[in-house]
Structure 1
Amino acid sequence: MLDKVPMTQAGADALREELEHLKKVDRPRIVQAIAEAREHGDLKENAEYHAAREQQGFCEGRIQDIEGKLSNAQIIDITKLPHTGKVMFGATVDLINLDTDETVSYTIVGDDESDVKANKISVNSPIARALVGKSEGDEVVVQTPGGEVEFEIDTVKHI
């Protein structure tokens, strides 16, 4: 049996939207492309047919992947959990870099939801692993490729 995969409500909703798009838009478009390519005759040397079949394989693989993730998802709605000031999955954490006094904010999300540009980091990332379980006011040391970086946890928000 597979372990449950933590996921935020927003992440689960995004996967459901992608799944619906794949099933209702992409899959019929690909089937139509295969049908049109078949009409061109000899399938051995029909590049359009082979390209459409390859697209179909990718689409079906992604559908199976998303369905598997959703079936094993443990959806955690941080807004319904009591605010204790501790860093946990789904929380948004404001950090102060103790070397530069810069402030940065991260939301701790599941692996599939992570997007560094949007300041969403995976629960399995080095920063998140260093933060989870700590409280507001704690100092944490994060091992980065450039060396150790010290942060102070300024605020923990459930948004």
Structure 2
Amino acid sequence: EVSAKRPDWHFVIIGPVVKIDVNDLPRAENIHYLGSKKYDELPVYISHWDMALVLFALNESTEFISPTKTPEYLAAGLPVISTRIKDVVNPYGDADLVYIADDAETFIKHAETELDKKSREEWLMQVDEFLSDNSWDHTFDKMSKLINNLKIQVVHV
């Protein structure tokens, strides 16, 4: 729907198609499915993008997904528009770091807002601050504390 309403925009989709029939994917002249790429190839593609998309269907398979693409795109300095994936909404959407789109009109509005921006400097500072506390080491430490606290509670019961 968005590609039909904005035929001058191009949607470059990189990555495998999983849990959906390839024939069910939307087709248009401005939608380009490039398939999987090696990680060392991605910076070349990303350097040409205006924004990044987290395009997960909302279904049973994606109910508990936590896409690592989100912080990767943010770390690359790209604005992100995502479907309403729980682990994208909280924390990224709630922190106003990522746009959440539930329909074509909202998607277009968010994209136009971002494309009209003169500067992303303030947003980039917010992203950097947020991500500085979001390393794998920090995540591991938080999870270890949660697990250890749970073990202590179970032992005391």
Q: Which has the higher helix share?
A: 2
What is the TM-score of this pair, normalised by structure 1? 0.24
Q: Which has the higher strand share?
A: 1
Greater RCO (CA < 8 Å, at least 6 residues apart): 1
